[in-house]
Amino acid sequence: MAPARISRQAVLACGLVLAVVVAPVAAAPVATGSGGAVATISAQASQSALAILNQGGNAIDAAVAAAATLGVTDPFSCGIGGGGFMVIYLARDKRAITIDHRETAPRKAGPHLFQPDGKPLDFETAVASGLSVGVPGTVRGWHEALERYGSMRFAQVLAPAIAVADKGFIVNANFSQLVGQNEKKFRQFAPTSELYLHQGKALPAGALLRNPGMARAYREIAQGGVKAFYEGPIARAIVDSVNRPPVAKGVRVPAGAMTMADLADYEARIRPALRSSYRGYELLGMPLPSSGGPTVAHALNILEGFDLAAMPRAEAEHLYIEASRLAFADRNAYLADPEFVDAPLAGLLSKKYAAERRALIDPRKAAPGEVAAGDPYRYQNDPSVPLRAQPGGAVKLGPESAHTTHLTVSDKEGNVVSYTFTIESWGGSGIVVPGYGFLLNNELTDFDFAAPHPNVPEAGKRPRSSMAPTIALKDGKPAFSIGSPGGSTIITTVLQTIVNHVDFGMPMDQALDAPRISQRNAVDTSVEPGFADTAQARALSGFGQRWETPAEEIGAANALVFNPDGTVTAVSEGKRHGVGTALVQRRGH
């Protein structure tokens, strides 16, 4: 795998020349300094954020600039055809808020959306269709972030991304590989094939990829603001693409039923950050409809009763696996959009409930398989909930895409953004909006296909997510931020990285780089390639832990660490999803 490199052309495209960290293979890119900092999975996106910070923008402005550029350079993971969750810490006011711009189901959607003939659609058929597309929330989320907490407007923050889309970028091996994995899906849609395939095959590494359609979309948003996306020609093109998918000759896929009113009526939600605590840290996470924040908090509450730092490593990791198993059992049974389901969140986050769940863990032996959800209602203390849900055993985890992106940014004033956004599967629905160059999401496949379940489709409902952008405070000040892509493995990636950093004392780059272990209430635990043959795996097997096959890469995290001397350290991936980029405004010595 090649080292992270940033071309001179990419730097000039952002109008900025600065010192760049070049990371060796298998070493996390790390940069420490003062002023602002950014970590993303894309060199161009990180450069865009730094350009905005150097122009006087704040962390919110820079986060939107980075996200817009990721929509060009990492289009199979994210973009304006999707949605996301942003956690913001405002230093001057010492407060945290979140912006929920998750996609919503169109008003014609119902619980049997993916059961047109009474039987659930094949998952892959559902993905590559207009039926899977939720009302995109990303542009509305960016608008709310800039209007409420930013200092710049769309015209400024979208300029770097427009430059990258216009001038193009060199396709790397990772990008080409992702297209190759999606050739079958992309061939079904004419504008997608035209953009990302050459003679029906993936664009090769080394090719220059320009996206004038996406540049056009960004220009219209820069000029017309949020209404250009939700009420103008872009909106009409989205609706037409959903209801009459632009398929290749001879191809048929299920159509959706989205209206212009669905787009015009879309609203982001400004929600209080979900607050929890762990070993002296206050964690600011994403509340429902993301299950990420609640499930990370629940698992950490369970783990807090064990002195992990004093234990042999294998014993501590065994407990991490089992705590995650229990937390996912509750997550799968209860959590969904809070505007449709009165989830027992207070009970789930109760330290007393965590103690009850902790007592189920055998410190010497893994659970034999799936475990049942507990009863958090006894800890709910909420007279508005007269009845308890009865899940009746383990609730299985439905299919969930592992393909998202996360970025994190801070500025010289101490504001911090932790932001995860997505279009769901690699390449989303596979539908590129004609003339505008962006892929539409397949987010509605994050609903459970079969009722009854808290997470079934309903008109206007937001599908449950696992995204877990997190900011940790210590003594009232930011200590670190962390987040990752990875579908339901987002939760375990964030959880494991926190345990590595806080309990095992690993520097953040080592905490990020460590082999990932993901238990989500299944018989076998997901691990990365090569792990099952290690001494670490053999030690865990002694506790009865079993490994899922085939092994797959888990997550692509980015983090910031706020050091006691006032400097900040940005950390990105050294080997997963290519190699990430970590930049600071002024390098330390």
Angstrom distance (rounded) from CA 342 to CA 179: 40
User: Collapsing DSSP states into helix, strand and coil, what is residue 401?
Assistant: coil
**Residue carrying structure tokens 């590494």:** 205
The pair of three-digit structure tokens given for residue 551, joined into one six-digit string: 């092994």
Angstrom distance (rounded) from CA 417 to CA 422: 16
Are residues 365 and 544 in contact, defined by beta-carbon separation less than 8 angstroms? yes
Residues 6+ apart with CB under 8 A from 119: none
Are residues 372 and 329 in contact, defined by beta-carbon separation less than 8 angstroms? yes
Helix axes 212-224, 159-167, angle to 10 degrees: 160
Can you say how many angstroms the Cα of residue 105 is from the centroid of all Cα atoms in its chain? 19
Of the candidates 410, 419, 469, 414, which has an alpha carbon nearest to the alpha carbon of residue 67?
Answer: 419
Question: Which of 32, 73, 404, 408 is flagged as catalytic?
Answer: 404
Please state the three-class secondary structure of 117-129 as a single string.
CCCCCCHHHHHCC
Are residues 99 and 105 in contact, defined by beta-carbon separation less than 8 angstroms? no
Tell me the backbone φ, ψ of residue 508, rounded to 5 degrees.
Answer: -60, -35
DSSP for 5-39, please give it. ---HHHHHHTT-------PPTTS--EEEEEEEEEE
DSSP secondary structure letter of residue 525: B
How far separated are the first and last CA of the chain, in Å rounded?
Answer: 29
Angstrom distance (rounded) from CA 463 to CA 441: 12
Are residues 571 and 19 in contact, defined by beta-carbon separation less than 8 angstroms? no
Are residues 587 and 36 in contact, defined by beta-carbon separation less than 8 angstroms? no
β-pairing, 568-571 vs 558-562, is antiparallel
Angstrom distance (rounded) from CA 79 to CA 16: 24
Are residues 163 and 4 in contact, defined by beta-carbon separation less than 8 angstroms? no
**Identity of the amino acid at 315:** E
Helix axes 43-54, 159-167, angle to 10 degrees: 140
**Identity of the amino acid at 25:** V
**259 catalytically annotated:** no
Tell me the backbone φ, ψ of residue 423, rounded to 5 degrees.
Answer: -120, 10
Widest CA span of the chain, in angstroms?
65
Angstrom distance (rounded) from CA 247 to CA 252: 7
Angstrom distance (rounded) from CA 463 to CA 133: 11
Angstrom distance (rounded) from CA 233 to CA 243: 15
Q: Which residues are catalytic?
A: 404
